[in-house]
Structure 1
Amino acid sequence: MDQGPGRLPGKSAVITGAAFGIGRATAVSFAREGARMVVTDIQGEALLAFADELRETGAEVETVIGDVSVEDDARRMIAAATARFGRLDVLVANAGIIPLGDVQEMTTADWDGVMAIDGRGMFLTCKFGIEAMLPTGGGAIVCLTSISGVAGQKRQAAYGPAKFVATGLAKHLAVEWADRGIRVNAVAPGTISTERVNQMREEPGGPEYLATVEAMHPMGRIGEPAEVASAILFLASDDASFITGAVLPVDGGYLAQ
């Protein structure tokens, strides 16, 4: 494996949900730090365009268009890394959806949809990721949870429990595989300025909702995707070599209240 500059020199990584938001910012960060990547997303056109942008920086990039909740798709995402790079060193299990509503508003379809992507999808990518890491002595997994996966919030009746799945999965897998050289941690973002959040500024009631959310974060603002990507990079790198089972908030102080 070639070694070069950066915090992930020559490391092979898979990043799910990479076309937009936190996943996209993470891929940009990983490319800058020397990683070789498989970037995945269900939105194929946007993913392929983004991969071309990454390649222009000199990064080695493979793409897989697929749905993390579909077992064969999740398996293909991991297999692409071992086929292209011979190994898997880092998995960022980021793909997710965010339905908002209280328990009266949420339907069983809403529940099943978010549990499929944010729950089952994370389980599957971690399962196949661990399988790929074991023959080469281990690796690092970072699961994307949320402040809603650590503490209760209004209008998160389906999304919040799905993110508790992500938090719990990270902790259990950390204990289960620590002695095989696999570290598993989670990042818990607060409200982040992703494409979906920014769309709310143009929706009825959206600006008022975002103003309320911003005020709930002690720093008085929402976060940027690159700020979350920096935390993911830390946990994925050897700088976090003695950290596993941690849930790192990136939330402007929200959970400290």
Structure 2
Amino acid sequence: MDLTGKTSLVTGAAGGIGLATARLLARTGAFVVATDVDERGLAALAAELGASVTTVTGDVSSPDDVRRMVGAAVTERGRLDIAVANAGIIPLSTVVETSPEDWDRVMAVDGRGMFLTCKYAIEIMLGHGGGAIVCVSSISGVAGQHGQAAYGPAKFVATGLTKHLAVEWAAHGIRVNAVAPGTIRTARVKELGDEPGGREYLATMAAAHPLGRLGEPEEVAEAIVFLASPAASFITGAVLPVDGGYLAR
């Protein structure tokens, strides 16, 4: 997957799947606009990738911030070829435990943020003949799970956007796909082991994946970069499980 000369945007790039994706895009030759609310994490990424990356600190739920993120690609390279809508938060709570404020916060980042990233990326891509968007959904955006009353529905937004936008913009050379990761060993997931009931939850989730383990961020990044690359030129509207067989049960 040679992406030399391509300009990419990765939201939520300071850690987890976003960080792994930014690294892989840079390794395959793409220039990366890396964005996050975590300024310190972005600084570490910039030090690691050097001239292959520029960083933008911002909140994907803010239209002005997302316009700045997309605008950075145009400023730096004059175009945007790849957008990875990854930024999100992952609360674990039942509908009884979830407050209206919790719901609004998750929908603002995971739902509205996904919408804004796609919207402003497409506006730029239309000006130079197309591009590829990859939304990061989840197994929770395809099937129901316990304790994800806000997060799961927000990830259904990612899945729905993928399918509708793929149809809407295919004629303009814009492909829109998604990955649906299973439980991935991000920093947040690793922290669960130190929380009450966290070890039991992680053991249960590992057993629920037929491969018998949790996934790694780099494994999801490989799927994202494949979908964004010319190797996937006849794929659009797909939601690719990267889940160790979870959804196949």
TM exceeding 0.5: yes
**Match for residue 203 of structure 1?**
195
CA shift, 1:204, in A, is: 1.9
Structure 2, unmatched stretches of 5+, are: none
| 1:228 to partner: Cα distance | 0.1
**C-alpha displacement of 1:60:** 2.1
Match for 1:37 among 32, 42, 45?
32
Q: Note if 1:121 corresponds to 2:113.
A: yes
SS of corresponding position for 2:193 = helix
Write the letter of the residue equivalent to 1:147: I
Q: Does 1:64 align with 2:56?
A: yes
Between 198-207 and 156-165, the greater mean CA deviation after superposition: 198-207
Corresponding position of 1:3: none
Once the two structures are superposed, residues 70-110 of structure 1 have per-residue CA deviations (whole angstroms, 9 ceiling, x without a partner) of 01001100000011100000000000000111100001111
Instruction: State the partner residue of 1:166.
Output: 158
Q: Of 209, 213, 220, which residue of structure 2 is paired with 1:221?
A: 213
- Residue 111 of structure 1 pairs with residue 117 of structure 2: no
Query: What RMSD in Å do the two structures reach over aligned CA positions?
Result: 0.7
Q: Which amino acid aligns with 2:133?
A: I
> Which residue in 2 is equivalent to 1:15?
10
Give the drift of 1:46: 1.3
Equivalent position to 2:91, from 96, 99, 103 = 99
Counterparts of 2:22 and 2:74, CA distance in 1: 18
| Secondary structure of the corresponding residue to residue 207 of structure 1 | helix
Percent identity, aligned pairs only, is: 68
**Count of residues in Structure 1 that have an aligned counterpart in Structure 2:** 249
Which residue is equivalent to 2:43?
48
Cα deviation 1:56-75 (Å, max 9, x = unaligned): xxx42111000000010011
Moved over 3 A (4+): none
1: CA distance between counterparts of 2:43 and 2:5? 22
Write the distance in 2 (CA, Å) between the matches of 1:201 and 1:101: 16
- 2:243 matched to which residue of 1? 251
Q: Distance in 1 between matches of 2:201 and 2:60?
A: 30
Question: In structure 2, what is the Cα distance between the partners aligned to 1:7 and 1:97?
Answer: 31
Structure-to-structure mapping, 1:173-192, within 5 angstroms: 173-192=165-184
Q: In 2, distance between residues paired with 1:105 and 1:239?
A: 44
Q: Deviations over 1:213-249 (max 9, x none)?
A: 1111111100000000000010000000000000000
TM-score, normalization: structure 2? 0.99
Question: For 2:129 and 2:90, how far apart are their aligned partners in 1?
Answer: 35
Say whether residues 1:232 and 2:224 are aligned partners.
yes
Question: Which stretch shows the higher mean deviation, 44-53 or 15-24?
Answer: 44-53
